[in-house]
Amino acid sequence: MVLRRFLRDSGHLVRPAIVLLAAMGLFLVVRSAVIPKAFGQYGHYRPGALDAIRARPISFAGQDTCVACHDEQAKVRAAGKHAHVACEACHGPLAKHADDPTANVPKRPEVANLCRRCHEKDAAKPQGFPQVATVEHSAGMACNSCHQPHNPHL
């Protein structure tokens, strides 16, 4: 008797309350379906993104990979001023060559630009760094006609 009177008197409150509860339930269902399971494991982001970024391919094989095969050149280089210049600093990215050396043969670097980019005289370069004004120094001659790039000292 009491319950019936309550329902009759407050129906205008009960009906929207049911709608609200249903909407909240729907929100929770949609939310759990849309948000990835591990979201928030390390912070407010999707941890799967870390794996996706890690899975990107590499282009530079790295010094250790080059030296594993080309130990002769590595020895020559280690004896000279270019000892701390990595192979791929001049030869470019060669991870593909490391994966399949016969199918991906690298081109020889273009000496004219390559040497000048580091060694052309420039007031902004550190004082102690070896640099020459190429026009006066070699007058258009290729650098490697005198210097051996792996160990450039004459």
Partner 1 sequence: MDISRRDLFTMGGKLLVLASVGASLEQITGAAPPTDAYRMAEHWWGMIIDVDKCIGCGNCARACSRENNVPSGYFRTWVERYEIEEGRPPHVESPNGALDGFPPSKREDVKSFYVPKLCNQCADSPCVQVCPVGATFVSPDGVVLVDETYCLGCRYCVQACPYGCRYLHPDKNTVDKCTLCYHRITKGLTTACCESCPTGARQLVDFKDPKDPVHEFLRHNKVQVLKPYMATQAKVYYKNLDGAVR
The footprint of partner 1 (CB under 8 A) covers 39, 42-46, 49-50, 52-60, 62-63, 82, 84-86, 88-90, 92-93, 117-118, 120-126, 129
- Shortest Å distance, C-beta 139 to partner 1: 17
Q: How far is the CB of 150 from partner 1 (least distance, A)?
A: 13
Dist CA 42 CA 21 (whole Å): 32
Which long-range contacts does 113-122 make (Cβ < 8 Å, 24+ apart)?
114/90, 115/143, 115/144, 115/147, 115/149
Asked whether the CA dihedral 131, 137, 143, 145 is positive or negative, the reply is negative
CA distance 133 to 94: 31
State in angstroms the smallest separation of the CB of 69 from partner 1.
17
Closer Cβ to partner 1, 9 or 122, answer by number: 122
Nearer to partner 1, 107 or 117 (CB): 117
Q: Which of 3/70 has CB closer to partner 1?
A: 70
